[in-house]
Amino acid sequence: MFALRHPPAVETMPEDRFRGTMQRWTLTNGERRAIVCDYEFCADWSLTWRVVAGPTQGQVGRARQFQIQEVRADVFVVWFATMPGTTLTAVVDFRNATLTGFTGDAYETRPVTGTFCTL
């Protein structure tokens, strides 16, 4: 006789913490402090952004893809290109609403830290 089993609980896929969301990242260190960007993590793994505050206010951009890797529950590494040859890699902590990482190109890398919220 076969035992009936309940289907497993539906789990949120790690990428669903990003895909289909709009997040506001506020950078808080170094030359990039006070830069505020709205990032739209699209369902097709592309990304668009708009700088809403800071010296480059009004700048917009699009990345053909972003990548994520779950570190543990509520903590993810996110990577995307911010412009040709320049990338941003950040550890995003949903529990503390913080991010820390690096931005740069083949010649120079700069640390970034900040906070974020989902819009």
pLDDT tens-digit map of 25-57: 999 986 667 889 999 999 999 999 999 998 889
Does residue 1 fall inside a structural domain?
A: no
Whole-model pTM? 0.82
Number of domains in the chain: 1
Dihedrals phi, psi of 31, to nearest 5 degrees: -65, -15
Does residue 9 fall inside a structural domain?
A: no
Does residue 25 fall inside a structural domain?
A: yes
Q: How many CB atoms lie within 10 A of CB 28?
A: 16
Does residue 47 fall inside a structural domain?
A: yes
The tokens describing 75, both together, are: 């903590």
Does residue 63 fall inside a structural domain?
A: yes
The tokens describing 64, both together, are: 């053909």
Does residue 50 fall inside a structural domain?
A: yes
Instruction: Classify residue 76 as exposed, middle or buried by CB count within 10 Å of its CB (0-12, 13-18, 19+).
Output: buried
Does residue 58 fall inside a structural domain?
A: yes
Q: Residue 74's domain spans which residues?
A: 14-113
